[in-house]
Amino acid sequence: MIDLKELILSKDNLYPLLRKLRKEARLIAPVKNEHGDTLFRPVGDIDTTDIDLENQPQESLKPFFLPQQETLTGYTINKGEYSFSPPPPAKNTIFFGVRSCDLTALLYMDLIFSKPFKDATYFDRRNHSLIITLGCNQPFANCFCEATGSGPYLEYGYGLQFIDIGDRYYVSAGRGKGADLLNKWSYFFREVEEEDQNRRYQLFLEARGQFTRNIQVPHACRKLQQEPVAEAIWEKLSSRCYDCGGCAYVCPTCTCFSVDDKPQDNNSGIRVRSWDACTSSGFTRMTGGHNPVDRTRHALKRRFLHKLKHDFASHGKASCTGCGRCIDICFGGVDITTFIELFTQQEKP
């Protein structure tokens, strides 16, 4: 067995490799549909599927590991005794073409769903998955992953990381399944040469220099530990939030959810988990109708403080990966970068 930590894959060998992987597991990749939208979707026939590695998928991997709505368990009642049925086991799945920001988000979700106890449903999916990332040589228009430490390339967390270096990919293997895959299909690859390493490093430097937005995420996180946000900022942001929930829907690290028991008949039912969001007006509304959150002033307060203040204090890192999707979707223009710019310019009280 040769050292398979870093190898080269000719682009001519990409689809033959994907065909092999497709036979072993469900293959998910960014696919351009008939409307021109790029979405993560199961790949059927490799030759007739439009795998799109040029555009940013409109959604992250979140729905595959935390579906918008899912049944956690079924239950039946027999003579007063409850019995529970677990959900079906996860399928072996290979995710290909995942951007660095989206894998970083998945690593954050691993943290969230492992404390205080491991979420069995989530980790069943994680344990049956292999993530193959694609480093970004050209940041997308609203991306700022360099400011969040989430890209453009990754140093850990992936099964395999592909870097496009022209007519070939520079492939790095992580632990476990990624290295196993390279071992199994080693005849598709060749060893790395010095020219490949130089090209990869050159592209990395060029990618870092192409970010057009200077978002001061670390500065905002540190400043939030030391001083409060002016009420005028919260009010300004709230006045432009329309409670659509779009930011939470597309955010790869928004993981709030609700759980409901839904009776099916007198003796059985299901327990369902559904996405929720702190930006939704109903998130904090109490049974009697009172809502302790004043939406005219604090509609976005929880969202931004959670990601930039509390998670930074708990984990030493913001739970924003700089993917830019909330910027794309917010028609009120009050995405997280707007908040960071307003707050970092705020004068010390």
DSSP assignment of 149-182 equals T--SS-SSS-SEEEEE-SSEEEEEE-STHHHHHH
Edge-first strand listing for the sheet containing 268-275: 81-85, 69-78, 268-275, 257-265
CB 217 within 8 A of CB 320: yes
CA trace torsion 175, 178, 183, 188 (10° rounding): -140
Q: Parse the chain into domains and list their residue ranges.
A: 5-210, 217-347
DSSP result, 61-103:
SHHHHS-SEEEEEEEEEETTEEEEEPPPPPPPEEEEEE-HHHH
pLDDT bracket for residue 285 (50, 70, 90): confident
Count the Cβ atoms, other than its own, within 10 Å of residue 323: 29
Given a contact cutoff of 8 angstroms between Cβ atoms, the answer to whether 300 and 248 are in contact is: no
What interhelical angle do 231-238 and 336-344 show, nearest 10? 150
Q: Categorise residue 157: left if φ over 0, alpha if ψ from -120 to 50, beta otherwise.
A: left
Which of 336, 339, 308, 338 has its CA nearest to residue 225?
Answer: 308
pLDDT digits (tens, 9 = 90+) for 138-179: 999 999 999 999 999 999 999 999 999 999 999 999 878 999
Q: Give the mean pLDDT of 307-331.
A: 95
Q: Would you call 242 helix, strand, or coil by DSSP?
A: coil
Neighbours of 107 (CB within 10 A): 16
Of 88-92, 157-161, 210-214, the poorest mean pLDDT is in 210-214
Q: Give residue 110's pLDDT.
A: 97
Among residues of the chain, what percentage have pLDDT more than 70? Answer: 99
Three-class DSSP category at 47 = coil
CA 329, CA 302: separation in Å to the nearest integer? 19
* Spatial CA neighbour of 320 closest among 344, 304, 332, 300: 304
The average confidence (pLDDT) of the chain is 94
32 pLDDT higher than 70: yes
Helix (H, G, I), strand (E, B) or coil at 294: coil
**Token pair of 188 as six digits:** 């598709």
Pair of tokens at residue 307: 């990601």
pLDDT band of residue 349 (cuts 50, 70, 90) is: low
Looking at the DSSP bridge assignments, the partners of residue 161 are 133, 172
For the cut 70, the answer to whether the pLDDT of residue 4 exceeds it is: no
Residues 39, 16 contacting (CB under 8 angstroms): no
Q: What confidence category does residue 212 fall into, taking pLDDT thresholds of 50, 70 and 90?
A: confident
Residues of the chain with pLDDT > 90, as a percent, come to: 87
Separation between Cα atoms, residue 302 and residue 293, nearest integer Å: 10
What average pLDDT score do residues 292-308 get?
90
pLDDT band at 220; cut points 50, 70, 90: very high
Residue 20 has pLDDT above 60, yes or no: yes
